[in-house]
Structure 1
Amino acid sequence: MQTESTLLTLSDWRQAYLRGARAADLLSARASRLASDSPARAWILRLSAQSVAQRAAELDALMPAGADEEARRAVLVRLPLFGVPFAVKDNIDVAGLPTTAACPEHQKVPAECATVVQRLLEAGAVLIGKTNLDQFATGLVGTRSPHGGPASVFDAGRISGGSSSGSAVAVGRADVAFALGTDTAGSGRVPAGFNQIVGLKPTPGRVSTAGVLPACRTLDCVSIFALTADDAAVVLQVLEGPDTRDDYSQFTPGPALLQARRGAVLGAPLRIGVPAEPKLRAQDGYDAAWDAACRQARSLGAELVALDFQVLHEVAQLLYEGPWVAERYAVLEQLLRELPQAIDPTVASVVRKAESQRAVDAFR
C-alpha cells in the first residue's frame, strides 16, 4: 500500500482509497510530516493534527471498513475529492479561521466559508491550512508579506512568484494535492510557472468569488494550482457554477474539460494566441521550453495564431498604474488612513496612486 509521501496527484489519492486506505491514516501522516518539514513561510496557518484527524474520521465513516471496491468507487463518484488534502490562499474565507491577506491588522474571522471552499469540502476535500501571499494580493513576486517570502521549490535563492506564493509552493512541494489562489494580473499563473506546476485562471464569472477579499473586484478570479492539467480540470468542475452570493457569477455550462483531454470533439479546432515576437530571449532554457510547448500544442491539433501582445501589456499596466487601482483603494482606504504602517510600503505605493486619479481617467 502506498504511503502518504508517495501520493501526489488526485489519481494517486483515489487509487489509494479504492485499495482500502483509510483517510485517518494517510492524513495524520501528512499532517505530522508537514508539522516538522514544511517551510513556515509558505503557510500562514495550518490546521491542528486534531482538526485534520476529526475531518478524516468523518470521511472514513462514509467509507466503511471492509467495503468492496464497487462500494468504495460509489463513494468516490459522489465525493470526487474524498480525503484529498488542499490549501487556500489567506485572502479566501474559511469559517472559523482568520482571514488576514498577509496583514494581521486587517484580520477578520468569517462565520461562513467562501463558496469555493464550501464546494471543495462538500466534495470530500480536507483543508490543511491557509497560505502566504503578497499582501492584499498586490504583487507578482511573493516577497511582500510580513511573514517573509517563500522561496522557489527549486532554489532557495530565487523567489516563488506571487501573489499566490504559498499556494504554489505548497503544491510544488507536494504538501497538498491542490490549492486555491487568486489571479487578477497573474497572481495564479506567475507562481505556478516559477514552481513548474499547473496554474489555471478560469474565465471571470465561471467560479464564484463570494468570500474572497477583493483586489480588483471586476476582474478577480479564484485560481487553481495542481500538479497536472487533469487535476486542475477535476477541481474546476467541482468549483464552477452559478452562485447567488456573487453578482458577477454566470451560468457557464462550458465544455467538459476532461472529455476534451480524452479526445472528444467539442467544436472548432482550438486556436491559441502567441506573441508575434515572444521576446523571451532569456537564460536557463526558456526559449527552448517555449519552442517545445508550441510544438506540443501543434501536435495536439491546435492552431497557433501570432498576435501583437503590446495592447495586452498596456491593459496589464492599467491594473497597477491605471483606473483599476481605484478598486484596490476602495478596499484599503480606511486602513491606509488609520493604520498606514500595517501596509507593506510597496503595496501602499501602488494603491495610493488612486488618490490622484479622477473619474475621467477611467474612460481614457
Structure 2
Amino acid sequence: MERQWGVYIHIPFCRQKCFYCDFPSVAGRERYESGYIDALCREITVQGALYRGKWGTPATIYMGGGTPSVLPFQLMETLLKTLQEVFALPTASGERQKKPVEFTVECNPGTIDLAYLTLLHDLGVNRLSFGVQTFDDALLKRIGRIHTGAQAREAMELARAAGFRNVSMDLIYGLPGETQAMLVHDLETMVSLQPEHISIYGLQLEEGTAFARMQEMGKLSLPDDDTVEAMYDAMTSFLPQHGYARYEISNFAKPGYESRHNLSYWRDVPYLGIGAAAHSYLEGQRYENVREIPAYIEGIRSGSGVRRQEEAMTREIAMEEFAFLALRTARGIDRRHFEQRFGVPLDAIYADAIAKLKRQGLLAEDAAGVRLTELGMKYGNVAFEEFLL
C-alpha cells in the first residue's frame, strides 16, 4: 500500500564539535567511518527494503548529523549508490518523476568542493542544507565553527555550479558578543545569496555542551533578553519582506520550497531512522537506535539489532505530540486530521486550552483549525504548555 513516509540517515562524524551542539556527533573518530558506512548500508538494505515493500518509495530522504559532508568521497559514493539501489531513486541525468523524492544532505561550507557537490547531485541528491550560523568570522571562531564567512558565501556558488536549485541555509542568533546590527548584516548577506529556504534559531544553552560549561564558569557573555527579543523581531519582519514566508516557527521559504521532510515530522507522517542514535516513528510508536558508534556497528554486523522502543506511546501522549508539532507550523492543527487520527473532535479535548490562548492573543481559530498568532509563535512554549493533558 503506497503511503507517505520519510527516511532519516544519521552521520555522526564532525571535524570539530561546535560549542553549542548537543546532537549525537563526535570529532576525531575517522577510524570508524568505513565500518560505519558498511553498517549503514546493511541497515538500509534490510530496513529500507522492508518499508519500501510495505509503503512504496519514501517521499523524502534527509541525511543529517554530525556533518555528512565530512565523509570521504568514496564512502559517500557507496552510501548514495546503496540508497539509489534500495529506493530506486532517479539520478540527475535519469528519468524525470512527477514529484521526485526530496533528498536533502546537510553540509558544512568548510568541507565541500565542486567535485563533492557534483557527486551528490549526480547520485540523486536534489536539496542541500548549509550550516552557516553566521557570516562573521570572529563569531564563527567563537562558536567553534570550522568554516569562514567567505566559504559560506562560496558554498552557494558551488551549489549552483553543481546544478542545485533547492538550497537551504541555517542561521543562529543570540550568539556570544553578537549585536542586533550583526544579525541584520547576516540576514542581508544571506538573502543576497538567494537560498530557497532559510532556517533561523535562537541560541539555546543545552546541557553537556561547551557553552553550558562556560556559562557555569561565568565565561560566556551573551546578549541580554531585550537584545535577543529585538533580534527575533528583526528576523521575523526582515525575511517576509524579502520573499521568505514563515511556514514554521524557525523556518522560512520562497513559495514552493518549504522542506517537505520537516513538514512530515510536524504532520504526523511516519519515518524510518537509519544509523547510530537515529530516531524512527513507525506504526504510531517511537524508536531510537543505539547511540554509540561501535555498538551500532557491532549490532548490525552480528544481527542482534540496534533499535529500541522509546516510552510506549499512550493516546494522551500521541495527542500532545500531535498538537505540539502541528502548532509549530503556520497552518496549525487541522480539525479534520485530528478527528481522523483520534476519533474525537479537537474541541472535545482542547476547548478550554483553545479559549484561554485565544483570550491571550496567542491562538487564532477558524473552521479548519487553530494556529498560533505572530505573538503565539514568539511565545510558543507558553502555548504548548496548555496542550499538555
TM-score by length of 2: 0.28
TM-score by length of 1: 0.30
Bigger strand share: 2
Ranked by relative contact order (alpha carbons within 8 Å, sequence separation 6 or more), the top structure is 2
